[in-house]
Amino acid sequence: MAEALEFDAAEPHVVRIGGAEVPPGARVDLRLSVSESYIGDRMTIPVTVLNGEEPGPKMFVTAAVHGDELNGIGVVKELLATLEPNEIAGTLVLVPVVNVLGLPLHSRYMPDRRDLNRAFPGSTEGSMAARLAHTITTEVLDICDVGVDLHTAASGRANLPQIRAVLDDERTLALARAFAAPVLIDAPNRSGSLRSVGHGRGIPVLTYEAGEALRFEETAIGVGVAGVKRLMSHLGMLLDPDVESDLTPMEADETHWIRADRGGIITLEVSLGDWVSEGQPLWTVSSPFGRDRNPKESPYEGVVIGASTIPLVNPGDAVVHIAVPGGEGGFDEDVDVESFW
């Protein structure tokens, strides 16, 4: 590990969150108060705190900041089912649903179409997005040393399990390697995201992206659960680690969406995780009369990390997302996703 995270592991490690006190060795379900609905109901975010008997780092795992991205909920559900305070050192703060207003609408966005992941750190006076963001920032991010924010591809696309982080930050790179999703992508922070606010406050946050919106997918969830446990193990938070940790992800410093230059009905010639070489056909387009047009050839050599799931394109539509290896852990073969879980 390049540069150690420094944790305040002084005892006793009582966790104060949402007005509650969680003593060492306790598991507490609570609701963080945010605001109120049109009809005056309390609006809350459900949180479970697992406070280990042993002191150690504090880690949060958030899911569904985008309300239609459900695989992260599946990851948190599995962590809730498989971890207890007597198995961990430090504290795990699990938030299965951050966007509690988008989720019931099956919507990525807030009801007013704001993107919650552009509203951090938020405020107590702003829109509902700002208030939700503020609650997560102050009650969850600020009390933790490190975090994982779980996402999926946007509607109509699918992602190979991947970590996005600022990899030229040594500390973050070490954590991303420890999580060991199949691909690590050096991705700049976007203003207003939970990850960027964490970065600004010295709290490394990894963004995990896997699968499609509105699905529970075994692979996306399996790699996510294993990754969180690998990260915990790396930080000394798992007293009896049961996860494979000797894995080398591919590191990519650039990614490219390949766009359609012709419209029509497409047949993808590649799948998520495929290694593609320059000039290899990525898809073919056919006209409504069934005539095939020239295949679209890959301008890059790399791994397919994202693809459209809709077989219809207009010229200019992004169809296949390719990560070009750089840094360590480069390889030139198909990714065996199953081995990362």
User: Which residues bind to Zn ion, rule: CB under 5 A?
Assistant: 66, 69, 151
Residue with tokens 């700002």: 130
Q: How far is the CB of 209 from Zn ion (least distance, A)?
A: 7
Q: Output the CA torsion 190→196→172→27 (10° steps).
A: -130
Pick between residue 103 and residue 266 the one whose CB is nearest to Zn ion: 103
Shortest spacing between CB 321 and Zn ion, in angstroms: 15
Q: 13 or 151: whose CB is closer to Zn ion?
A: 151
Residue 305 C-beta: closest distance to Zn ion, Å: 15
Instruction: Give the shortest CB-108-to-Zn ion separation in angstroms.
Output: 7
Q: Which is nearer to Zn ion, 193 or 298 (CB)?
A: 193
* 296-319 burial code (b ≥16 CB/10 A, e <16): bebebebbbbbbbeeeebeeebbb
Distance (Å, whole) CA 240 – CA 139: 29
| 215: Cα separation from own chain's centroid | 15
**By C-beta, is 73 or 83 nearer to Zn ion?**
73
User: How far is Cα 341 from Cα 339, in angstroms, rounded to an integer?
Assistant: 6
Rounded-to-integer distance, Cα 191 and Cα 196, Å: 6
CB of 68 to Zn ion, least distance (A): 9
Tokens of 157: 């696309």
Which is closer to Zn ion, CB of 159 or CB of 172?
Answer: 159
Separation CA 244–CA 227 (nearest Å): 9
- Angle at CA 136, nearest 5°, toward 134 and 142? 95
Is the dihedral angle over the CA atoms 52, 57, 58, 63 positive or is it negative? negative
Q: Which is nearer to Zn ion, 92 or 116 (CB)?
A: 116
C-alpha–C-alpha distance, residues 3 and 24, integer Å: 27
Nearest to Zn ion of 151, 230 (CB atom): 151
Q: How many CA atoms lie within 13 A of 199 on its CB side?
A: 22
Cβ closer to Zn ion: 66 or 296? 66
Measured from each CB, the residue nearest to Zn ion is 151
Of residues 50 and 194, the one with the C-beta less far from Zn ion: 194
Q: Give the Cα separation of 65 and 296 in Å (integer).
A: 35
Closest distance to Zn ion from the beta carbon of 270 (Å): 23
> Residue 149 CB, nearest distance to Zn ion (Å)?
8
Beta carbon of residue 66, minimum distance to Zn ion (angstroms, whole number): 4
Q: At what angle do helices 218-234 and 71-82 cross, to 10 degrees?
A: 50
Least Å distance between CB 213 and Zn ion? 8
Amino acid identity for residue 39 in this structure: I
For residue 96, is the peptide bond before it cis, meaning its omega torsion is within 30 degrees of 0? no
Integer Cα distance of 48 and 271 in angstroms: 36
